[in-house]
Every structure is written in C-alpha cells, then in structure tokens.
Amino acid sequence: MVMNVIWLIVLGIVFFFLLLAAGIGFFIFKKRYKTASSNQALIITGPKLGDAEQDNRIFVDENGRSMKIIRGGGVRLKMFQTSTPIDLTSFQLEIESPKAYTSEGVPIKAKSVAEISIGSKLEIVANYAEKFLGKAQKEKERELKEVLEGHLRAIISALTVDEIYKDFDSVNRKVKKIAEEDLKNLGFEITSFALKEIKDVDEENGYLEALGRPRIAEARKDADIAEANALRETRMHKAKTDQEAEEEEINRRIEIARSNKDKDVKESEYKAEVERGRARSEQAYNLEQARLNQQVKEEEMQIQFIERQRQVKLEEEEQKRRKAKADADAYDIKAKAEAEAEKARIDGETKAQIEKQKGLAEAEVIRERGRANAEAKELMAQAMEKYGEAAILEMVIDMLPKYAREVAQPLSQIDEMKVIDLGGGSDGSSGTAKITGNVTRTMTGLQESLKEATGMDLKAMLESFVSRGNVNNFMEIKSNDHGEKQERGQNEQQQDPDAREYRKENEVIAETASARENETEENEQEENEGRKE
C-alpha cells in the first residue's frame, strides 16, 4: 500500500515537471515566434540567418552585413536573433519654403504636400533599417522635410515666377524626379508631390500682384470688349430673333391655317375612311359571322359525324361483344352438348349394359317361365288325363269369381256416381240394372272368347256334364281333389324342398323381371320427355 502511494507521488511529480516543461517550451516558442501583418515588415538580425542565394528575403550589403526582411507571415527566431517590426503605411508631409528665390531673383513663399512611404524593395528597406531604425517618427519627418524643401528650392531657383505660376505640374514632376533617388538612399519612396501655392515674400511690393495687373487690365479690356460685343451681338441677335420670331409667328399662323385645313381635310378623309372602315367592318363582321356560323355548322356536323362514328364504333364493339358472347355461348353449348353427348354415350353404354343384363335376366325368366308353363301344362295334361272334363270345369269354375272381380274392379274406383234414370229402356231395365247387366254381359262374353281362343265350348261342356248326372261326382272329386292338394302340398313340403325352393326362385325371378319391365318403361318415358324438352 505504501509503495503504491510512493509510486503515485513519483508519477505526479514527473507529470508536473512534464507539464511545466511543456508550458515553458510553449512560452519560449510563443516569444520566439514572430508574425508580421500585411502593412508591416519584420527586420531580423543576428547569426544564422541563412543563405542569401537560396533565400531572397536575406539582404547582404557590401560590407558583408546581413539582415532578413519578412513581409507578411511568421518566422521562428533562433537563438540570439532579434526582430524589429516596421510600419509600411504611407504618411503625408507638408513642406513650406518661407523664402525661395526664382531665377529672376524674386523671393516667393511656396507650400507643397508630399506622400511618403517606406520602400518596397529589399535594398530600400535595408537602407531604411540602417539609417532610421530606432528613430522617432517626428525625427524621420523632419529629416525628410529638409530633403524635400531643399529640392523644392533648387527647382524654384531654376524657374521664373511666370513659369512657376503658369505650370505647377512641371514643378511637381521636377521635384519628384530629383527627390526620388535621395529618398531611396534613405529607405523611402515618394508616391506624390503637389505644389499648393506661391506668394510674395514682401506683400508691399506685390510682384505677383503687379505681374497680374496687366493681365487683369487686359482681362478687363477683353471683358469690356467682350461685353460690348456681347451687347451688340445680343441686340443683333435680339432683332434677328424678333424678326425670326415674327416670321415664325407668321409661318406659325400660316402653318396653323394649313394645319387646320389639313386637319379638316384629314378629318373629312378620316370620317370617310371611318365610314368606309365601318362599312367594311360591318361587312367583314357579317362575313365573319356567316363564316363562324358555317364553321359552327361544320363543327356541329363534324361533332355529329364523330358522334355517329363513335356510335358505329360502339355498335361494332357491341356486335363484337355479342359475337364474342355468342361464340362463348356457342362454345359453352357445344361443350355442354359434347358433355351431354358423352354423358348420353356413357348412359347409353350403361343402359345397354343394363339392357343386356336385363335381357339376359328376362331370357332367364322367360326360360324359367316356359319351363314352369311346360311343367304346368304337363301337370294339366296329367290332370286332364286323370280327370278329363271335370278338371277343366273345375279350373274354369275357380277362375270365374276372380274374373268377375277383375271385371267389376273399375267400378270400385268410382268415389261417387250419379245415375239419371229417364225410364225403362226397350227391355224395361233401369239405369242401375244396366250397370250390373254390363258386368253380367261381360262375364257371358267370356265363353265366346274362350271358345275362339282354345276351341273349348264351356256352355256345351257344362250342359253335357250336368245331363250325365256328374254333378255329385264332381263335388266329391273336387272335395277329394282339395284333400289331395293339401296332402300333396304337405308331401311337397316334407319330401321335395328343392322343388319348393325352385318355385320360390321362379317367383322371385318373375317379380324381378316385372320390376325391370316397369323400370324400363319409366326410363323410356323419361327419355321421351327429355327429347321433347
């Protein structure tokens, strides 16, 4: 724990000294780094300024002394180097010469203004640094004024008062020209020089004033002459102007009259033109109206034509739609017909198969029915052989009640019957007796039908059978026969189950055949109704 504290203290001390060294280094760097603004220059002196051949900012004089001049930017000073800033801003000097003699010996006072600045070239700045670096601004201005005043005196002494008075610009150019070289040697440049005024030193003598008097008198004379000429010219000009004004007035009146006449003529022409224009406008309006009406009619006809085309197009589209619908319906009908045909074909094949099976079943039924009929006929032949006419009569007598019941069956289906009896007929029978008589007559017609179908005369057989006294014997035989039938039935149940089963099968086959016949008839009726639909 103590070691950690010691290490922390050591690290803190090291960090403190590093920060202190960095701060000192930054302070030294800031102190040694110098910058110059755009209107300043830095003059750096000291050792190790650099190579003058590689750095054009270094100036070396003829004695081998060197300095570096920095204009704008910054530089880091090396050890034992110093920097001095100088101001490159120009300044103005007012130069006053209280007594200067001209080439004619006339003393005059002269006032002028000069614009001065430190030179821009390296050697001129070096001259300034050598001669004025460290001096106050007033001392610099005093020395420069003395130099410029001396040059101004020299120029004035070489000129006459008249030359100076007439041409200030010449004096300015000459002073600036002879002063430039001296100012460069001092480290300055003269931007401009201007002579402001010159005066007499002795105002009583008034040389400059006397010099101006002839000119003033001449100027006055010239002014008077000019004034007289001006007055004369003014009067002449006024007379001429008046004449011209009168002529102008006359011409103006003539012009007004002419203008009025022209105006009237032009108004008449204008009115006529207006009327013609109005007529043309009305005609053009009518023509334009007719053209517009025609155009409207054409556009209406065009609209009707377009509308008709649209209706025709709509009708064509409707026909196309109907045709497409008809084609679709026809396709649907065709597809439906094909489907129904396929269904009918399948149904036909199915029905044909059913009919085939039905035919086979019916054939089997017919075959079994024929076999049963044959057996029945064989049994009847045996009965006929055994019993003769008695057996036949028994069969007929047994059948008569059933036949009478079937004949009278339609009458039982009548819910309500009204009989209108208008009296007896030719035979004296009533309406009700006629109904029952119809049943009796139908029963009586049975023997005629039986005679025609089988050749048996039922009436003759009964008369022959009764005349022979066989009624009692027949009743006994029938009684015996009934007992034999019961005994035979019992014997068949006991002794011949196969025959009984065979008869049951025949009955089932007969019922099945009858049901199939009924189903076939119903199917045929449905097909006929479907074809009709």
- The tens digit of pLDDT for each residue in 89-108 reads 888 999 888 888 888 888 88
Rg (CA), the chain: 83
Q: Considering the chain, what is the average pLDDT of its residues?
A: 72
Whether pLDDT at 388 is above 50: yes
Place of tokens 């120009």: 90
The better pLDDT of the pair 78, 383 is held by 78
- The tens digit of pLDDT for each residue in 402-432 reads 666 666 666 666 666 555 555 555 554 555 5
Q: Which amino acid is present at 23?
A: G
Residue 104 is predicted with a pLDDT of 83
Q: Write out the two tokens for 137.
A: 């601004």
The better pLDDT of the pair 25, 293 is held by 293
Q: Which amino acid is present at 299?
A: E
The whole-model pTM stands at 0.37
Residue 492 is predicted with a pLDDT of 47
Give all strands of the β-sheet with 188-200 in edge-to-edge order: 91-101, 107-118, 188-200
DSSP code of 217? H
Enumerate long-range contacts of 495-502, CB under 8 Å, 24 or more apart. Answer: none
- The tens digit of pLDDT for each residue in 31-54 reads 666 666 667 777 777 776 666 676
With pLDDT > 70 as the criterion, what percentage of the chain qualifies? 56
Whether pLDDT at 435 is above 70: no
Q: Is the torsion defined by CA of 164, 167, 173, 176 positive or negative?
A: positive
Question: What backbone phi and psi angles, to 5 degrees, belong to 198?
Answer: -130, 145
Q: Enumerate residues 6+ apart whose C-beta is below 8 A from 503.
A: 372
- The tens digit of pLDDT for each residue in 301-332 reads 888 888 878 887 888 887 787 777 777 777 77
- The tens digit of pLDDT for each residue in 482-518 reads 554 455 555 444 444 554 554 554 455 445 545 555 6
Give the ranges where 68-136 is alpha helix by DSSP (H): 122-132
pLDDT band at 113 (very low <50, low <70, confident <90, very high): very high
Rounded CA-CA distance 93/111 in Å is 11
- The tens digit of pLDDT for each residue in 194-225 reads 988 888 777 666 676 666 666 656 656 776 78
Q: Write out the two tokens for 30.
A: 């800031």
Residue 284 is predicted with a pLDDT of 76
